[in-house]
Amino acid sequence: MSAPSIRPIRTGPIVTDLLSFHDPFDRVSVLLPLPLDAAYDYKADTALALERGDVVEVPLGQRRMIGVVLGPGGDESVPEERLRAVIRRLDTPRLPKTVIDLVDWTAAWTLAPRGAVVRMAISTPSAFEPPVPSVVHTARPEADWIGQARLTPARRRVLSVLADGPALDQKDLTREAGVGPSLIKGMIESGMIEPHTVAPAPPFAVPDGTRDGPVLTGEQRVAAAALAGRVTADAFSVTAVDGITGSGKTEVYFEAIAAALAAGKQALVLLPEIALSAEWLERFEDRFGVEPAVWHSDLKPRVRRETWRAVAEGTVRVLVGARSALFLPFTELGLIVVDEEHESAYKQEDGVAYHARDMAVVRARLEGIPIALVSATPSLETVENVRQGRYGAVHLTARPGSATLPEVALIDLRRHGPERGTFLSPPLVAAIQRTLDEGEQAMLFLNRRGYAPLTLCRSCGHRLECPNCTAWLVEHRLLGRLVCHHCGFSGRLPKRCPSCEAEDSFVASGPGVERLAEEVLTRFPDARFQLASSDTLTGPDKAAEFVRAVRAREIDIVIGTQVVAKGHNFPWLTLVGVVDADLGLAGGDLRASERTYQLLHQVAGRAGRAERPGRVLLQTHAPETPVMQALAAGDRDAFLDSEIQQRKAAGMPPYGRLAGIVISAPDAERADAAARTVARAAPRLNGVDILGPAPAPITMLRGRHRRRLLVKTGRQVNIQQVLRDWLSPIKLETSVRLQVDVDPYSFM
């Protein structure tokens, strides 16, 4: 998607920002977090003084639900006497106008029901009730109760604790004094101690933007001044921060955050994998004195509740979050930063299929504020927008100090293949040994979790497949399980082959990081190594410990997947070996070459980030491909030019538009019938090509059979309108699901 223009692509009733009521009851339109596009009308007592964006509780059938007021009711088909009344307005700040506009815009762009989108904006219902005040206790003067209450040893301990320290809540007081809650209650009733209600302290400290950051290079100062100037201008702009790995892009946009803080504004930073961002958080605290607020799916309910409300109340000044943070109710937003903007993790595949980078540009436009898109390997969409002048750009071309880019070399596996049953070629083994001998660290990169991607019977060739998906089961030897990475199914390795009933006949085929670790242990028995994947770094704490151990040189060899490909700065890591550089090039993904280049360039950037020079070795069976040649030559522009020409010739994004339609059903017959129904209704329009239906590459997923169509148009075609006119009249069985993915990133 390129520079989404803010234009009306959905028609509907116009709503005002402020509602005024003249009758005792009036209609309000309430959007509920359900997979429905329409809002429901309710009666609203004038005493509620409802406005657009208010969060309300309403009846729906036998349930009570939380919804958002959109404006005056407009469904005249429901008579006044049949309307049910709003139960209450919740005591929480109303959603800002920009959030509701973003909900409408996202729904219109993705063709998702508005209710499904608003669910992301009100995903924390517990935050809609005000926080419970704390109750602390102090001792009353002895003169107030002497002679009226008996002073026991236990009561004496309570009074002693309160005399020696600050006011305490009941939990701390009972623990310090070694008494029970009933004794505290009795002392309150006797007038010996007094409870006080106090408002809870703000859960987040305010970052100090006036602190001195690291000394910037001349190039960094120019880039930082440009970004800070856009913040000061307080107008919409998009700036690509394009810098080589290790060039200080983070320090540059930290200066823009400082400018936002100085202007009294909030800042939002999006990261693709927030749960693994321990090093980023450490750098932020070093720069601003405190950690930022954090938003991701692993937050505990209490922290999630406090964070949502603090954002809405404005007490959170800087928040770093995953893609869903985009829908938080910021009221004073002054800057959005999308770090690693090229990452496919920003595209949500399930539910509402939106791309957070693109919707972040939309929110910045709606807010009238600047946004920075940051990457060492910008997406082709961003590159094209810069070339067309729709986005501005700042460039960082050098690493600060004496650090230089690593040397990249290709190992042709056709000439230097590994020994049978192993996966490391002789040149890579020799390089690892030399690195260890010099007291430095090495990283082996293989973007494949588990022990082996395929398990097959040596007797008959039967391959173990997920019972719910058309996908091979991946052996995870550390867990002792076979796992499907698509649906989560897991099971133990069967004793007998289900096809030929041979016993103990299964053999692992191909390497995962666990199998690679076995080879490292055999070849380098004295080396200390650690696996680093989403299976081992399961949260911020474990990620932080991993970073600490590598920096402390407690690890000699890191064996990792893509979670170690970006953001980490390890001064003693001087060698990166990519075990299977061709892995991402397989399949029919139009972005396969681009993604492979981005990933391997990021991995290569982990080497030589300090004074010691780095080296990168890529094992490949196809060193002649443009991707490998560009990586070896360090010529990103040549690769981009080649990729652009191919995309233009094929009319593929960003030079054309795509939309995927996936139809799924519990059985193949119903999936085929539904796909034929959809295909028969397809429009015949100039400039619109419709491919399919055909079985999806993953034909069965989570027990549902899948058929796929692909819609391809020119950039001038309003593909959403084409899809809406085509699909809206179609009625399918209730067991059949139809999902639309505008601007698809996955073709599985």
pLDDT tens for each residue of 718-727: 999 999 999 9
CATH class of the domain defined by 218-396: alpha beta
pLDDT tens for each residue of 657-668: 999 999 999 999
Measured CA to CA, the distance from residue 379 to residue 615 in angstroms comes to: 25
Listed in sequence order, the residues at least 6 apart from 659 whose beta carbon sits closer than 8 Å to its beta carbon are 710, 711, 719, 723, 740, 741, 742, 743, 744
The DSSP output letter for 729 is: T
**Parallel, antiparallel or unpaired: strands 441-445 and 573-578:** parallel
* Mean pLDDT (whole number) for 517-537: 90
The residue among 686 and 3 whose pLDDT is bigger is 686
Supply the pLDDT for residue 90.
93
Listed in sequence order, the residues at least 6 apart from 210 whose beta carbon sits closer than 8 Å to its beta carbon are 258, 262
**Parallel, antiparallel or unpaired: strands 333-339 and 370-375:** parallel
Which ranges of 265-388 would DSSP assign to H, the alpha helix?
278-288, 301-313, 356-367, 380-387
Q: What is the 3-state secondary structure of 142-181? A: HHHCCCCCCCCHHHHHHHHHHHHCCCEEHHHHHHHHCCCH
Listed in sequence order, the residues at least 6 apart from 106 whose beta carbon sits closer than 8 Å to its beta carbon are 112, 117, 352, 354, 359, 362
Which token pair is 383? 């590159």
* Mean pLDDT (whole number) for 462-470: 89
Supply the pLDDT for residue 332.
96
Supply the pLDDT for residue 746.
79
Supply the pLDDT for residue 74.
75
Q: Minimum mean pLDDT among 8-17, 331-340, 376-385: which range?
A: 8-17
Quick one: what percent of the chain has pLDDT higher than 90?
Answer: 53
* Mean pLDDT (whole number) for 224-236: 95
The DSSP output letter for 345 is: G
* Mean pLDDT (whole number) for 447-457: 89
The hierarchical CATH code for the domain 25-122 is: 3.40.1440.60
Amino acid at 627: V
Q: Minimum mean pLDDT among 398-412, 488-502, 616-630: which range?
A: 398-412
* CA 314 to each of CA 96, 274, 337: distance values in angstroms, whole numbers, following the listed order: 12, 22, 18
pLDDT tens for each residue of 386-421: 999 999 999 998 888 766 778 899 999 999 999 988
pLDDT tens for each residue of 236-284: 999 999 988 888 899 999 999 999 999 999 999 999 876 557 788 889 9
Please report which helix (H) or strand (E) contains residue 27, including its range: strand 25-31
- 10 with 722: CB under 8 angstroms? no
Which ranges of 335-479 would DSSP assign to H, the alpha helix?
356-367, 380-387, 426-437
Supply the pLDDT for residue 48.
84
Which token pair is 131? 């926080």
**Under CATH, what is the fold of the domain 657-742?**
Alpha-Beta Plaits (3.30.70)
pLDDT tens for each residue of 4-61: 433 333 333 333 333 333 443 478 999 999 999 999 999 888 778 888 999 999 999 9
Measured CA to CA, the distance from residue 184 to residue 154 in angstroms comes to: 10
Supply the pLDDT for residue 582.
86
pLDDT tens for each residue of 497-526: 988 989 888 988 889 999 999 999 999 999
Supply the pLDDT for residue 14.
32
pTM: 0.86
- 1 with 358: CB under 8 angstroms? yes
CA 664-668-670 angle, 5° bins: 70
Q: What is the 3-state secondary structure of 363-379? A: HHHHHCCEEEEEECCCC
- 68 with 55: CB under 8 angstroms? yes
**Rg of the chain in Å (alpha carbons):** 30
Which token pair is 487? 């649906």
pLDDT band at 299 (very low <50, low <70, confident <90, very high): confident
Looking at the chain, the number of H-run helices and the number of E-run strands are: 19, 30
Supply the pLDDT for residue 127.
85
pLDDT tens for each residue of 45-104: 877 888 899 999 999 999 999 999 998 887 777 787 788 999 999 989 999 999 999 999
pLDDT tens for each residue of 121-140: 998 888 888 877 788 888 88
* CA 190 to each of CA 158, 164, 198: distance values in angstroms, whole numbers, following the listed order: 14, 21, 22
